DNA sequence: GGATGATAGTTTAATATTAAACCATTTACG
DNA sequence: CGTAAATGGTTTAATATTAAACTATCATCC
């Protein structure tokens, strides 16, 4: 890092962009997810229900991959959803290490009832940006996010 | 919402943009903060130290505002930092409701030692985007984030 | 000056979250 | 086969996080 000057132009651009990215994500998520409190759902619980709703039954490992969370966390969240009978676990006979996690009827109804409002929240919130700007934001985020 | 068609073009642009935004923020934060584990610091603890480092002593309410966290959370995080003698609380005589939270010498040394690496992580990570793209990302995020 | 209300911080109860150690099952391979 | 490695899930211990109820202090204003 001999050529790296702390506090350089490069740093400033990167830091400013990153800080704005962080705060934007936090406020948008906070705003669009506020309605979940009325159903006593956390963001992680909602994300799990949503994944099962769109993708069908998943094993916990795949849920974790989708939500970018650890296995231990998935155990907890799925456990809490199961307590409320919104999902159920079934052992897979062909490989008994796996559980298949699926929405129950109650869970299906709940997520189907909530999703429209959630999508509307996101669409309304994002409407501050033009469709072109939304696409550009997506492009930049994908480019940046896939650089892992 | 009579004019709102679920699954419309508008929804798709917004959802795609929002999902990319979420995943980007999660992966970038995860990558740039990984080094904190070596110091046994959580992201929240680091954020608190960083705020005190750049802004000087703050009361807990201002720390919460800065990190977008609740008062109860600040109590916990500052408490854990205090246990490790990285910060200290002092009652403000002019208004005894407030604490002034400040870095200790140890805390100062720690954050000063860690910051360069952290900034470098961010700068390196963001370098996938050109400086113009970083500025555009910042502009879009600010526009979107300030719409609360 | 004493009730009223606002404000800073804490506590409590519940869930989330991670890393690390662990258990159970399956797969690889000698 | 039978052991070793890999894999899915759980547990544990610690911290984070929130909402809601609470304490203490300060400000307002009759």
pLDDT digits (tens, 9 = 90+) for A65-88: 999 999 999 999 999 999 999 999
Residue where the block lists tokens 């609380």: B89
Distance of alpha carbon A26 from alpha carbon B65, whole angstroms: 12
Give SS3 for A94: coil
Helix axes B131-145, A9-33, angle to 10 degrees: 30
The pLDDT tens digits of the residues spanning B95-121 come to: 999 999 999 999 999 999 999 999 999
Whether pLDDT at B1 is above 60:
no
Q: Do A142 and B116 touch (CB under 8 A)?
A: no
Least confident of A119-133, B6-20, B54-68: B6-20
Q: Angle of helix B43-55 relative to helix B9-33, nearest 10 degrees?
A: 80
Which residue of B68, B130, B145 is the best one to mutate when testing the A interface, meaning the one whose CB has the most A CBs within 10 A?
A: B145
Q: How far apart are CA B79 and CA A102, in angstroms?
A: 40
| Six-digit token string for B8 | 């419309």
Res A139: pLDDT:
97
* CATH number for the segment(s) A32-145: 1.10.10.10
Whole-angstrom Cα distance, residue A93 to residue B130? 51
pLDDT of residue A130 exceeding 50, the answer is yes
Under the banding of pLDDT at 50, 70 and 90, the label for residue A9 is confident
Burial of B81 (C-beta count, 10 Å sphere; 0-12/13-18/19+): buried
Q: Is the pLDDT of residue B148 over 70?
A: no
DSSP letter assigned to residue A39: G
Chain B neighbors of A28, CB-CB under 8 A: 18, 21, 144-145
Q: Rounded distance, CA A73 to CA A56, Å?
A: 20
- Whether the CB of A48 is less than 7 Å away from nucleic strand D comes out as no
The yes-or-no verdict on residue A2 having pLDDT over 70 is: no
Can you tell me whether residue B29 is helix, strand or coil?
A: helix
Q: Is the dihedral of CA A49, A55, A59, A60 positive or negative?
A: negative
Is residue A98's beta carbon less than 7 angstroms from any atom in nucleic acid strand D?
A: yes
Angle between helix axes B9-33 and A105-126 (nearest 10 degrees) is 90
Chain A environment of B29 (Cβ under 8 Å): 22
Higher pLDDT, A9 or B103: B103
pLDDT score, position A71: 97
Which value does ipTM take for this structure?
A: 0.90
User: Which of A104-113, B5-14, B29-38 is predicted least confidently?
Assistant: B5-14
- Tell me the pLDDT tens digit for each residue of A29-71: 999 999 999 999 999 999 999 999 999 999 999 999 999 999 9
Burial class from Cβ neighbours inside 10 Å (0-12, 13-18, 19+) for residue B116 reads middle
Restricting to A residues 68-87, those with a Cβ less than 8 Å away from any Cβ of B are 68
Query: Measured between alpha carbons, how far is B59 from B89 in angstroms, rounded to an integer?
Result: 9
Element (H, E) at A74: helix A71-83
Is the confidence at residue B4, as pLDDT, over 70?
A: no
The reply to whether A96 has its C-beta less than 7 Å from any atom of strand C is yes
- Domain spanning B35-114, CATH architecture: Orthogonal Bundle (1.10)
The CA-based diameter of chain B, rounded to the nearest angstrom, is: 61
| pLDDT at res. A8 | 86
Residues of A with Cβ-Cβ distance to B34 under 8 angstroms:
none
Between CA B22 and CA A22, with CA B53 as vertex, the angle to 5 degrees is: 10
Shortest distance, CA B90 to any CA of chain A (angstroms): 29
The whole-number average pLDDT for the span A83-108 is 96
CA distance between the termini of chain A: 21
């Amino acid at each position: 890092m001999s050529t790296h000057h702390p506090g350089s132009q490069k740093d400033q651009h990167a830091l400013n962009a990153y800080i704005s990215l962080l705060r934007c994500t936090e406020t948008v998520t906070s705003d669009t997810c506020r309605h979940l409190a009325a159903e006593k759902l956390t963001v992680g619980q909602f994300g799990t229900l949503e994944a099962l709703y769109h993708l069908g039954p998943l094993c916990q490992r795949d849920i974790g991959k989708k939500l970018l969370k650890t296995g231990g966390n998935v155990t907890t969240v799925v456990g809490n959803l199961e307590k409320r009978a919104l999902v159920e676990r079934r052992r897979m006979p062909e490989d008994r290490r796996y559980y298949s996690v699926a929405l129950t009827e109650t869970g299906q109804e709940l997520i189907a009832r909530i999703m429209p409002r959630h999508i509307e929240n996101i669409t309304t919130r994002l409407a501050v940006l033009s469709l072109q700007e939304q696409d550009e934001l997506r492009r930049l985020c994908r480019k940046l996010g896939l650089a892992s």
